[in-house]
Amino acid sequence: MFNKLKKMFGLEEEQQDGTTQASAPAAKQVAIKAPLTGEVHPLSDVPDPVFAEKMMGDGFAITPSEGVVVAPFDGEIVQVFHTKHAIGIRSKDGVEILIHVGLETVKLNGEGFDAHVTEGQNVNAGDHLLTFNIDYIKENAKSTITPVIFTNGDVLENINITATGSVQKGTDAAVVTLK
């Protein structure tokens, strides 16, 4: 009976000799929403070798046009830096992302940033994570460009950045395939 159900629901494939074999599960894909509104760039455009050379992981960057960071998926906040310039989030599927607002913003010691979440908090895609004063960062940091880094690339089979040009926070930005 279970074999018939498996076959009926496509969980088994019939072989040429009439026997059945369980099919491999489809690779799990996770949609990643843009955490900011602005212009999308490849990491190679980020004027910092740690990000541009993918030392922390693969991803993309956004030059923000407004000072709001939202959750790119449903998940858990795993880190809120004490300087509020960066935040780490893990999806329910295990994808981990670091959103690092601007370059050399750690030196601002939290000035111009407000965190709206705490470590361990569960969030839904689109929930506000951080707000920041974009003008203050333009005046006091190296750049507003914001790297969005997949920090656990070892569990990812593929990263497909789908967003180009202008992007609105909460819209599709990438799709990752888990191993």
Q: Which residues are catalytic?
A: 100
Torsion angles phi and psi, residue 3, rounded to 5:
-65, -40
Phi then psi dihedrals of residue 8, to 5 deg: -60, -40
User: Phi, psi at residue 92, to the nearest 5°?
Assistant: -65, -20
Q: Contact, 102 vs 61, CB < 8 A?
A: no
What amino acid is encoded at 142 in this protein?
K
